[in-house]
Amino acid sequence: MALMEISVVPIGTPTPSIGDYIAEVVKTLEQEGAKFKLTDMGTIIEGDVEEILALARKLHETPFKKGIQRVITTIEIDDRRDKKVSIEDKVKSVMARLK
């Protein structure tokens, strides 16, 4: 099980606001039934590598569907094979160390 953080950035938008495009990313994840968490800097998705890369492919496409001609997508995958990792596990594990 892996976690992925993805950030889909449309280039050449009329204003500096890109919230509408991020909303499309979230809508797509809801339609796909993905397990995810929106943060201020991206979206964290949980799943098998195969599955989350297929989602990345779909999310990367969303701004093009709205007429954008260039998209820069940043993806980080944290994949452990020695234990199962779910959303919020890593935060909890670090917080427990601080007590």
Between 18 and 32, CB nearer to its own copies: 18
d(CA 77, CA 49): 8
Scanning the structure block, which residue is given the tokens 């492919």? 57
* Binding-site member from 1, 20, 34, 84 for its own copies (CB under 8 A): 20
Contacts for 85 with CB less than 8 Å, ≥ 6 apart = 1, 2, 3, 46, 78
Query: Is residue 84 close enough to count as binding its own copies by CB under 8 A?
Result: no
CB of 88 to its own copies, least distance (A): 7
Dump the DSSP string for 35-60: EEEE-SS-EEEEE-HHHHHHHHHHHH
Query: Is residue 44 close enough to count as binding its own copies by CB under 8 A?
Result: yes
Residues forming the site for its own copies (CB under 8 A):
3, 5, 7, 9, 11-20, 22-23, 26-27, 37-42, 44, 49-50, 53, 56-57, 60-61, 64, 68-82, 87-91, 93-95, 97-98
